[in-house]
Amino acid sequence: MSGSVDKSGQAVNRRPRITLCADDYGLAPGVSAAIRHLIALGRLQATGCMTGSPHWPQAAQSLKPLDGMADIGLHITLTDQSPIGPMPKLAPDGKLPSLGKLLKLSLTGKLDRDEISAEINRQVDSFQAAFGRLPDFLDGHHHVHQLPGIGEAVIETWKTRLGGHVWVRSCLEPSLGILTRRISPLRALVIANLGRVFRRRLEQAAIPHNRSFRGVYDFSGKVPFDQLFRRFTADPGPDCLMMVHPGLVDEALCAVDSLTGQREVEYRFLASDSCVLGLAERGIALSPLFPKPL
C-alpha cells in the first residue's frame, strides 16, 4: 500500500508535490491577466505582487475574486523600476538601480538599511491598501530579498508586521541538485550561494520557508520550456518551490521589462494539458507550499 498509516488508521499521502509561484504580478496588465488565468486553472499555487507598479491597484482588484485559490505575496522590488517613496541614496533620480549595481552596493556594505526598510514597508502598505490584507509571503524581484543589507530588513519586517504563518522564499538549493539538472548551472549556483546566509537567518528566526528552490534559467528559449519544466519538477523534495514567469506581452510590459516573449512561452505551456499530464504520469501533485488548515 502506498503511503503510511497514522494512529487513526487514515492513509497519509506521500505523493511528491511541488509549488509553482509566478513572479511579477502587477508589472503589466498582460502579465497579471495570464497569472490570474493560471490561478483559476489551478496551475499556480502562489504569485508575488509588484506593489510599486502603477498597474498594481487595478490588478489587485481583479485578483481579489481568486483570493484563497493561491498564496498572494509581496514581490519586493528594489531594481529597475521606480520606488514608491523617495530613496535619495539608492534611487536619486527616481529609478531603482540595475541588479548589477545593487549587488555591488550590497556586497560592499554600502546600502542604507533604514532607506531599504522604509521602502519595503511602503510596498507592504501598498499591498494592504489595494488588496485589503497583508501578504501571505515575501520574496524579491531578482532575488534581492536575500542580499546583505536587504535580507536583514526583510526579516525585521517579518518580525514586526508579518509574523505567524507568513512564509519567505529561500533561494538556496544544494549544488549537487543544480549540477545534476544542468540548467544554467553557473547562474543558479550564484543565486543559491548568495542565499546561504539568508537561509541560516530564516532558520534562526523560525521563519517558514521553502527547503528546495527551482526555476533559474537564462530565458533564452534555446531549450524548449516543456523540457526545462520536466527537469525542474523532477524528484521534488519536501517544501519544494519553483518560480515561473508567465505573461502576455503588451505595450506596458515592453516599456518596463526586457523579459517579454518567453513569458508567453511559459504561459502557453502552463495552461496546456501537457503540463498537468506530464506531472500526473510522474505522480507529482501541485500543492500550496504550506497548506492552510481547513
Q: Residue 136's closest CA among 53, 40, 201, 70?
A: 70
Kindly report, residue by residue over 85-94, the tens digit of the pLDDT.
999 999 999 9
- The stretch 50-54 carries a mean pLDDT of 98
Question: What confidence tier does 10 reach under pLDDT thresholds 50, 70, 90?
Answer: very low
For 136, 163, 229, 240, the CA distances from 290, given in Å and listed in that order, are 10, 15, 22, 10
Cβ contacts of residue 293 below 8 Å, gap of 6+? Answer: none
How far is CA 112 from its chain centroid? Answer: 24
Whole-model pTM: value is 0.93
End-to-end Cα distance, the chain:
26
Question: What confidence tier does 4 reach under pLDDT thresholds 50, 70, 90?
Answer: very low
Kindly report, residue by residue over 91-132, the tens digit of the pLDDT.
999 999 999 999 999 999 999 999 999 999 999 999 999 999
Q: Are 13 and 284 in contact (CB under 8 A)?
A: no
Three-class SS state of 173: coil
φ/ψ of 91, rounded to 5, equals -135, 65
How far is CA 253 from its chain centroid? Answer: 18
Residue 248 to residue 264: CA distance in whole angstroms: 5
Question: What confidence tier does 294 reach under pLDDT thresholds 50, 70, 90?
Answer: low
Three-class SS state of 195: coil
Domains in the chain with CATH codes:
16-286 (3.20.20.370)
